[in-house]
Amino acid sequence: MRRNIVAGNWKMNTTVNEGVKLISEIIEKSKDLSDVKLIVAPPFTHIFSVGEKLKGTNIGLSSQNCASEEKGAYTGEVSAEMLANIGVEYAIIGHSERREYFDESDEVLLKKVKLALANGIVPIFCVGEELFFRESGDHLDYVCAQLDAICELSDDDFEKIIIAYEPIWAIGTGKTATSLQAQEMHAHIRNVLADKFGEKAEKTSILYGGSCKPSNAKEIFAQPDVDGGLIGGAALNADDFIAIAKAF
């Protein structure tokens, strides 16, 4: 059985005090959840404070990124070792915003994935296509090419990976991805990974990251290859975040 996962990416939102208040609300409202793994990814400034609140709970702590180097003269960067040292269990790697705004290449992303794994951190590896590739019909091939980076991993390392699919064209554009479009891409991703890793791909959780909210989560999560969501805006509201988790 694949694990059902709902991960909240807070992005560059909330102050430390607001983040502590938000996680306190999430902890309180999630007490009756048993069949889904919750993960939260606060900004770097919040990680320690939020982690302290999460002690004794089943909610996982994630970073939104990690450095592609172990240590050294990389001003402003935060290494996987540093994150692991303060209790980070997961790291979002290859998010569409990192790829677009910071020009993160497949080579850089693979280095980040390997460093995260070497420090006991589970990568949440993001892939997804822009509107041009969707409308041209090249969306499946485009996402397949993004998966090449993690196809270099060993079987043992691959087993630890979580995948998140982001239809970039459906995020903040007014366009909406249907549940069937999500299923098509998730099934394609699983088939691509199965070609490399065999039956291990059946155990890989693949999350949907395209404007998932309480009103559409149930339909999306009902698809056979959708194992949860990587939630953006809705993760900033405890009621919405928990409602999405309860959609299972």
For the annotated catalytic residues, the residue numbers are 95, 166
Spatial separation of the C-alpha atoms in residues 222 and 44, rounded to whole Å: 33
Dihedral, CA of residue 185, residue 189, residue 190 and residue 196, to nearest 10: 160
* Distance, CA of 208 to chain centre: 8
Residue with tokens 């409308």: 135
Which alpha helices (DSSP H) does the chain contain, by range? 16-29, 47-54, 80-85, 96-101, 106-118, 131-136, 139-146, 155-158, 179-197, 217-221, 238-245
- Supply 153's token pair: 């991993």
Pairing between β-strand 122-127 and β-strand 90-93 as defined by DSSP bridges: parallel
Strand partners, 9: 41
Single out the residue of 169, 41, 13, 187 nearest to residue 100, CA to CA. Answer: 169
Compute the residue count for the chain.
248
The CA-based diameter of the chain, rounded to the nearest angstrom, is 48
